C-alpha cells in the first residue's frame, strides 16, 4: 500500500529555513498524482502549503508563496519542503500528502482529494 513518511529537524531557529523530506513508498512519484504539504499549528485547523507534480510543476498557498519551495527527487522517490524566514507562527505538525484524482461511481467526473497522509512531523520554531 502507499505510504508516506516525513523526516527532518524537529527544531528550527527563528529566521532560519525549515526543511522536510517525504519518502514515498508503494507507488512511483512519477505516477499521475500530485504531492502536497499540509500543516496544523497546535490546537488549530489544517492549512494547505502547496503541491508538486513529478514534472516539477508547483502550486502554492498565496499566503506562503514568497517563502515556500517544494521540490521532487524522482531518483529517490521523495519530495521536499523548504520554508524560509520562519517564525514561531510556523510551529506546527507538518504532513506530506498524496493528492489523487478520484472518480465517482455515477459519472466519469473526477475530483482531487488528499487520500494518503503521512503520520506528520512536529516542527518547533524556537531559539
Partner 1 sequence: DIQMTQSPSSLSASVGDRVTITCRASKSIGIYLNWYQQKPGKAPKLLIYGASTLQSGVPSRFTGSGSGTDFTLTIASLQPEDFASYYCQESSHTPRLFTFGPGTKVDIK
- Considering the complex, state which of residue 15 and residue 122 has its C-beta at the smaller distance from partner 1: 122
Least CB distance to partner 1 at residue 91 (A): 16
Q: Which residues bind partner 1 (CB under 8 A)?
A: 34, 36, 38, 45-48, 51, 59, 61-62, 95, 102, 104-105, 109-115, 117-120
Q: Which residues on neighbouring strands pair with residue 79, listed in sequence order?
A: 22, 72
All three cell numbers of 34: 500530485
Least CB distance to partner 1 at residue 46 (A): 4
Burial group, residue 102, by CB count within 10 angstroms (0-12, 13-18, 19+) = exposed
Q: How many Å separate Cα 109 from the centre of its chain? A: 25
Q: Are 2 and 98 in contact (CB under 8 A)?
A: yes
- Considering the complex, state which of residue 14 and residue 103 has its C-beta at the smaller distance from partner 1: 103
Least CB distance to partner 1 at residue 82 (A): 19
Amino acid at each position: 500500500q502507499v505510504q508516506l513518511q516525513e523526516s527532518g529537524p524537529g527544531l528550527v531557529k527563528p529566521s532560519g529555513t525549515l526543511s522536510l523530506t517525504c519518502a514515498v513508498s508503494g507507488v512511483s512519484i512519477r505516477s499521475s498524482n500530485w504531492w502536497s504539504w499540509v500543516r496544523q499549528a497546535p490546537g488549530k485547523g489544517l492549512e494547505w502549503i502547496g503541491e508538486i507534480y513529478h514534472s516539477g510543476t508547483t502550486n502554492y498557498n498565496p499566503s506562503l508563496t514568497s517563502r515556500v519551495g517544494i521540490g521532487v527527487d524522482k531518483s529517490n522517490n521523495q519530495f521536499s519542503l523548504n520554508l524560509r524566514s520562519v517564525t514561531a507562527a510556523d510551529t506546527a505538525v507538518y504532513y506530506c500528502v498524496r493528492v489523487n484524482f478520484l472518480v465517482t461511481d455515477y459519472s466519469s467526473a473526477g475530483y482531487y482529494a488528499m487520500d494518503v497522509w503521512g503520520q506528520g512531523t512536529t516542527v518547533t520554531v524556537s531559539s
